[in-house]
Structure formats: structure tokens, C-alpha cells
């Protein structure tokens, strides 16, 4: 093992996600495979690829490219990700995944939990 390996590890970096995603995906009706697919999309985006193909995604997952296609379709249909069209500064058309819907749903879920906890706390006080 050499210093160059160490530097390469540093360059690979980390992925940081809100802890709430890990504790709430189940309640948002996501499976573990869908959660990891979303993490892969986030990671590809951080590395500059905003529209990874099912083949690229399945290359890092224990599922087939066909399954990735199906999961992406389901995630779009259930409103967790959306495809955004745009034009680059050089006038080239592009498509990219946006995870804004995921974060919106996560915030909704988080606030719903908070409201419930307050209601329950009040009920405990009243009894």
C-alpha cells in the first residue's frame, strides 16, 4: 500500500445524507433497493454525471440494468425523482434527474412525525 492509494481514497470522498432519510424511507414506502438506487443517483450527480443510465447504475448494484429501468420508472411514477430538460451554455440539450421531489417528501414526512409527537405529548399531559 502506497501513499498514492491513500490520496486516491481521499479523492473518492464521502457521501453524506440526512439521517432522516435512513430512518424514514420505510414510512415513505421505499424499499432498500430503491433507497440505494437514490443514493447512487445522488453520488453520480456529485461526481458530475446528472443522468446516469440504468447500465451505469446496475454496474454498482446487485440488480440488473432491467431492474434499474423498472425502479427508475416506479420512482418517477411515485413522485420521488423527476427528469428535467435543459439547454447547456453551449446550446446542447440535456436531461437530468432531480431529487427535489424526494427532499420535499422527506420534509413532509419529518413534519408529520413532529406533529404526531406533539399531539401524543399533549394527550399524555391531559391524562
Binding site for a second copy (CB under 8 A): 1-3, 5-10, 12-20, 22-23, 25-26, 30-33, 35-36, 39-40, 43, 60-63, 90, 100, 103-104, 107-108, 110-111, 114
Which lies closer to a second copy via its Cβ, residue 51 or residue 110?
Answer: 110
CB of 14 to a second copy, least distance (A): 5
Which lies closer to a second copy via its Cβ, residue 9 or residue 127?
Answer: 9
User: What does each C-alpha distance from 44 to 37, 51, 73, 121 come to in angstroms?
Assistant: 11, 8, 18, 42
CB of 87 to a second copy, least distance (A): 15
Residues 127/39, Cβ–Cβ less than 8 Å: no
CB of 69 to a second copy, least distance (A): 16
Residues 99/43, Cβ–Cβ less than 8 Å: no
β-strand 93-98 against 82-87: which pairing, if any?
A: antiparallel
Amino acid at each position: 500500500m502506497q501513499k498514492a492509494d491513500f490520496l486516491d481514497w481521499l479523492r473518492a470522498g464521502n457521501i453524506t445524507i440526512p439521517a432522516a432519510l435512513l430512518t424514514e424511507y420505510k414510512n415513505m414506502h421505499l424499499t432498500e433497493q430503491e433507497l440505494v438506487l437514490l443514493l447512487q443517483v445522488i453520488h453520480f450527480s456529485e461526481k458530475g454525471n446528472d443522468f446516469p443510465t440504468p447500465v451505469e447504475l446496475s454496474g454498482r448494484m446487485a440488480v440488473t440494468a432491467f431492474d434499474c429501468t423498472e425502479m427508475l420508472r416506479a420512482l418517477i411514477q411515485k413522485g420521488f425523482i423527476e427528469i428535467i430538460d435543459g439547454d447547456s451554455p453551449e446550446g446542447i440539450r440535456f436531461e437530468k434527474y432531480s431529487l427535489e421531489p424526494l427532499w420535499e417528501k422527506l420534509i413532509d414526512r419529518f413534519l408529520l412525525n413532529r406533529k404526531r409527537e406533539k399531539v401524543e405529548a399533549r394527550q399524555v399531559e391531559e391524562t
